[in-house]
Structure 1
């Protein structure tokens, strides 16, 4: 027994009817593996909707805050710990790999035990890891601490995405994710400036003390202001074979894999800028810490503009169309940035201007790829969100050391990696997002017919 294919449309006013979820639940119930699903909590509206956006956005912001606040400190960390630039950039890779691999573990756990407990445990790990980083005596131990921070933040990333999918789907989910990005988008705008201000009064270690304090505030907020969104009757069995079978089912969906790759490649484009900009703008173009924070914040407004324009565009265009437009803009802008860096034509102005459009493209693309991907697999939202998030952080994590390995004498390494990842995202989108997207058959646990 399988679910009939369902055409995914972009009705902005209603969540999509999730017949695939109902069919999957019926299969599991008929086999005796799980009880029939409980009715999902109603989607929040009015003030409850606003509160959900603000609370979840504040929690999600812990990720970019952890990554971006210490960016102005990278040169001082290099000097203080007698490390190479490549080794320091590995601390960025460490947090991304921790977030990527952690999501693969947390996703099935969140589908099995609910959303709140993994979230609170992850925030607690973030606090402990931040304190560890604050006292790290070597670059190697700092990298270990960053990996642990990433593992803690992975729970926040997975749970937030799964909570959105628990209550919204399709264009409604894309709109919600855009609203969340308005809240969390303030983090990369403010974080480097905040990090620069901290460095005026203390060392880079004070940045990690601040992150520990922020984590304490977030775990308090999560404990009191966020309700469980996954009823016990809708939870999936946590066992090795069902988890592997679910991941296998997701990987057989060609369109889902395409969306995962697009999301990962665009995140790598974004993170190439995040990981390389402090060295390029400060060491090559001579910006001060304060000037770097200002420029970084202004470029981050490009990301915010794209993400906040997205809900209005969704009223007229399908999400898949916006993804293709976003990756096209990103690829063109990245190639222009590479040309400017390689030739020196236009100087800093023709480096920063295309960078703004690259971040705009990321802001337009990144809310829509998870919305499309999770709509196809709502019955395993935690696991699907984990695979989606892991691709972002694993692919993105490879970008920073690659830039460092190519040297720091010019802006070419950073812009070359950005051009490569953005162009690959355009190629994948062209190959996989043709025509209207059909809903995938539900990912079934391995014991569904046992």
Structure 2
């Protein structure tokens, strides 16, 4: 294979991996502007609609724990294909839902399918790369996948101007079908000689051994608490911006997309400097900033200082910290146990979306019509992220 052909092949693989990793954002961000309208249509309060995010996170969290070991045994492509079919079915179910309970259930199934793509895309990166190259590749993927939350709410708001909220989920069905077709151009990266030969029931015992590793728990905690804050942001900002500060739904996407711009900028910084400064050092710097910014969000949410801008600015900076934390935490964990990359990726992903469940549910349970539940949640998770980085991850 010539150098030019190899580069085109790598670029196409990177493109498919970016699409697979974007499914977590695509599935949620695109319907955020519709949440207030969905609440009225499904005859439920804002807290009930926010639980559709929590239901999604439950499916995403638990599903990863299954797909990771399965892929270590069967390879990466087949589990992704099965997951994509579940995603398509779940999206259609959401489009046809007539009450919030069925919406929550279909969102959970949608998530079980989507998480196969995200979990195994990370494992594929570790199959192909190691060390700082893996961190650079992961950051590059996150730059590309940040386009999904950048465009998602705007696309959702645009659909609402010309159609109904159900059409948002029919669009997800179409995206799933296209991705399923593209999947067959992705090479299998885990050859049979490197697959786990043990019965699947015994493979799950791997999680017990991994959970006894303090360094792995440190990386999982940093990423987990970060994602708790991110999903508090996802669940809380539609009501803080649209309901409390009266931002029109079609403009909500512009405010939401600021976070994606910050993530892309921070990931570009990470790609440039991770080889020089090290992934652990950059991750700890991001976690320290997240702790400070979480407190800032709580203060502005409680006091109302600065109005809408006073809330948007620290939220933007908090979300931007993802660019320094997420890729480095994932890479650090995967580098510890490359021989079971699927299981490690699943465990890290489960920790992220497990705390995401808590983050979105906490905002929903504390909902009082003000931005305070959002601010309090961001402070809690930001401090947790900072403490895990300081206390559990290595300082070298």
Aligned residue in 1 for 2:114: 153
Compared CA separation, residues 238 and 209, structure 1 to 2 (3 A): farther
User: Superposition RMSD on alpha carbons, in Å?
Assistant: 1.3
Distance 1:73 1:435 in 2: 44
What are the residue-to-residue correspondences of 1:84-103 with 2, within 5 Å? 84-103=45-64
Distance 2:69 2:332 in 1: 20
Cα distance per residue 1:81-109 (max 9 Å; x no partner) = 10121211111011111111000001110
Contact 1:182–1:304 under 8 Å retained in 2: yes
Aligned residue in 2 for 1:205: 166
Contact 1:62–1:215 under 8 Å retained in 2: no
Which of 282, 293, 298 aligns to 2:242? It is 282
Asked if 1:296 is matched to 2:252, the reply is no
Could you state the TM-score of these two structures normalised by the residue count of structure 1? 0.85
Give the structure with higher Rg (CA).
1
Aligned residue in 2 for 1:375: 335
Query: How far off is 1:46 after superposition?
Result: 2.6
Distance 1:299 1:245 in 2: 38
More helix by share: 2
Contact 1:327–1:365 under 8 Å retained in 2: yes
Cα distance per residue 1:17-43 (max 9 Å; x no partner) = xxxxxxxxxxxxxxxxxxxxxxxxxxx
Aligned residue in 1 for 2:348: 388
1:88 counterpart SS class: helix
Asked if 1:428 is matched to 2:388, the reply is yes
Distance 2:138 2:94 in 1: 31
Aligned residue in 1 for 2:40: 79
| 5+ residue gaps, structure 1 | 1-43, 437-450
Asked if 1:416 is matched to 2:376, the reply is yes
Distance 1:183 1:345 in 2: 34
Asked if 1:331 is matched to 2:291, the reply is yes
Contact 1:280–1:408 under 8 Å retained in 2: no
Distance 1:195 1:241 in 2: 41
Query: How far off is 1:240 after superposition?
Result: 5.2
Distance 1:45 1:274 in 2: 39
Query: How far off is 1:303 after superposition?
Result: 1.4
The ranges of structure 1 where at least 4 consecutive aligned residues each deviate by more than 6 angstroms after the TM superposition are: none
| 5+ residue gaps, structure 2 | none
Query: How far off is 1:52 after superposition?
Result: 1.8
The number of residue pairs the alignment matches comes to: 392
Asked if 1:406 is matched to 2:358, the reply is no
Distance 1:329 1:416 in 2: 16
What are the residue-to-residue correspondences of 1:189-268 with 2, within 5 Å? 189-223=150-184, 225-239=185-199, 242-268=202-228
Contact 1:182–1:308 under 8 Å retained in 2: yes
Asked if 1:346 is matched to 2:306, the reply is yes
Query: How far off is 1:271 after superposition?
Result: 1.1
Aligned residue in 2 for 1:112: 73
Distance 1:251 1:379 in 2: 16
Aligned residue in 2 for 1:176: 137
Compared CA separation, residues 356 and 45, structure 1 to 2 (3 A): farther
Distance 2:93 2:205 in 1: 37
Contact 2:236–2:374 under 8 Å retained in 1: yes
Query: How far off is 1:384 after superposition?
Result: 0.7
Query: How far off is 1:185 after superposition?
Result: 0.6
1:408 counterpart SS class: coil
Which of 147, 156, 161 aligns to 1:186? It is 147
Cα distance per residue 1:88-147 (max 9 Å; x no partner) = 111101111111100000111000000000011111111111111110111101111000
